Chains A and B, each alone.
Chain A
Amino acid sequence: MKININKKDLSSLAALVSRAASIKNTIPVLSGLLIQAISDKGLVMTATDMEIGIKASTPNVEIIEEGSVLVNAHYFTNFIKLLPDDLISIELDRDKSKLNIKYGRSSVSLNIYREQEYVDLPIDKMEYKFSLPQKNIREGLRKTSFAAAYTHFRQVFTGILFDIVDKKKLKIVASDTHRLACYIYNINMSEKTDLVPFNFIIPLRTANELLRLLEESEEEIKIAFNDNNVIFYRDDFIFLSRLIDGNYPNYENVVPDSFTTTVKIKKTMLANALERIKVMPTDDKMRIQQARFVFQEKEAVISAYSDMMGEIEEIIEMQQIEGESDFKISFNVNYFLDIVKIIEDECDEIVIRMSDPLKPVDIRKPEDENYFYILVPLRTGIEKEE
């Protein structure tokens, strides 16, 4: 293998793909980056840790001699990142098992892995299902993945559910059982498809990688499946991820449908107040950072206290209240702040719909039917008991 390539093209491709390589050294070949120079495809790179896999390519390469080589992904990527913005020559010395990289008058000679041991991505039997605009998947993942659990004894809660309700509706849902975020996308099928209702759960790590890979564009990305994997692919990359096995609980059951009090409140003022409350330290007896809300006719009073540090009371002018006033309810500050930050740039006001101090509330942008957040209040003992 012998190629000439610009540093920027090489570095961005290596950085994109090497994220799928294993950082553990238990199976060395899984920390490898497979580099292939193929005349009709350009420079192709592949990495997988068997949980996720990425294959991507660039046509911006001069291939002098076709071939392939397996190197340590993280060392190669970190090294290339530090090279000067210039033309780089890469040549494989098969006899010495070295990859020679020349930049200007300098050079490095890297050890290579045994390529025969490398397992390619299992994409040969993938079955195409449907396509979606990249920006909508991005938006759906950005607005839901934060609500998934990092760890949970029910693995499904560490994932993000893609629920194809019917041919026209996709719901992206995540929950750590304390809150639930749901993004609804109305599918505009440009092609005839036999899409039937089905669902699948992707791991949180997959969601984070997709957020890096996908662009803010209308261009569609294709979605396919094989065995227990989902494959997102475009002309220039393939992203494969294992799916989380298991059934997602019926999330519709936790979405409240009747409310006694609806408030509309200025989002920026609420965000600032919650940020100030958030810095109040938690005590041993109160491990959760909580804020107590009292929604009155013209204002909302938000308070918190700490045995160690003191008390804080924030008063925010209310934009609107419908239904019962003097409504007292407590929340985990961090969970509340998460949703306020997510929709921060999209609206001036936030709508909170409640029915009981102990029952889940619905938080969303005004008149938004396609994205909502369900948050369970905290039992502080101050509210009326059932």
Chain B
Amino acid sequence: MERTIEELKLIIRELIIELGELKERVSRLEFDKTGEHDKANSKPVLPGAELEKEGRKNLSEIYKQGYHICPVAYGQPRDEECLFCISFLAKE
């Protein structure tokens, strides 16, 4: 039973990641479709550090909204502060 729950959690986690990827693809397609693509072409591509900063900001937002962002319990609702999430954010 316990193993089944663990397996389900893994599946849910994979689905969350896949959903994130799909959302990214949809926004890229919409971006191309609305013609903003050409406008964006003139803008410089976000450098790696900027992307990392953006990612960190997003994770921090998810954490503040009350969800774990640590690998230990990613996506689970949290009721109190989490050592592992905070350390993960600090490391990121």
Chain A interface (Cβ < 8 Å from any Cβ of B):
153-155, 175, 177-180, 245, 249, 253-254, 288, 332, 358-360, 374, 376-379, 386
Contact = CB atoms under 8 A, between A and B. Distances in A.
A249 B60 contact: no
B81 A378 contact: yes
B83 A360 contact: yes
Given A253-B91, A332-B80, A360-B83, A177 B73 contact: yes
Interface in B53-92: 60, 64, 70-73, 76, 80-84, 86-88, 90-91
Interface in B6-40: 9
Contact of B73 (A154, A155, A253, A377): A154
Nearest to B79: A287
Given A360-B86, A360-B87, 6 more contacts: A153-B76, A175-B83, A177-B73, A178-B83, A249-B71, A379-B64
Instruction: Say whether chain B's binding surface is mostly helix, strand, loop, or mixed.
Output: helix
A386 B60 contact: yes
A376 B2 CA distance: 29
Interface of B: 2, 9, 60, 64, 70-73, 76, 80-84, 86-88, 90-91
Contacts, number: 50
A155 B82 contact: no
B91 to A, nearest CB: 7
B81 to A, nearest CB: 4
Instruction: Say whether chain A's binding surface is mostly helix, strand, loop, or mixed.
Output: loop
A128 to B, nearest CB: 29
A245 B73 CA distance: 17
Contacts of B84: 177, 249, 253-254
B12 to A, nearest CB: 12
A177 to B, nearest CB: 5
A283 B80 CA distance: 16
Contact of A155 (B2, B60, B70, B71): B2
Nearest to A378: B81
**Considering residues B60, B64, B72, which has the most beta carbons from chain A within 10 angstroms of its beta carbon?**
B72
B83 A180 contact: yes
Contact of A177 (B9, B60, B72): B72
A376 B68 CA distance: 14
Contact of B87 (A154, A178, A254, A332): A254
Contacts of B80: 178, 288, 332, 378
Contacts of A177: 72-73, 82-84
B60 A359 contact: no
A148 to B, nearest CB: 13
Contacts of A386: 60
Contact of B83 (A155, A245, A332, A374): A374
Contacts of B82: 177-178, 376
Nearest to A332: B80
Contacts of B90: 359
A177 B88 CA distance: 12
Contacts of A378: 80-81
14 contacts: A154-B73, A177-B84, A178-B80, A178-B81, A178-B82, A245-B2, A249-B72, A253-B84, A253-B91, A358-B86, A360-B86, A376-B82, A378-B81, A379-B81
A379 B63 CA distance: 11
B14 to A, nearest CB: 17
Contacts of A154: 72-73
Contacts of A379: 64, 81
Nearest to B60: A386
Nearest to A252: B87
9 closest A-B pairs by CB: A254-B87, A376-B81, A254-B83, A376-B83, A249-B72, A177-B82, A178-B80, A253-B87, A177-B83
Contacts of A175: 83
Contacts of B64: 379
A178 B83 CA distance: 5
Contacts of B81: 178, 376-379
A3 to B, nearest CB: 43
A360 B91 CA distance: 13
A169 to B, nearest CB: 22
B83 A179 contact: yes
A378 B2 CA distance: 32
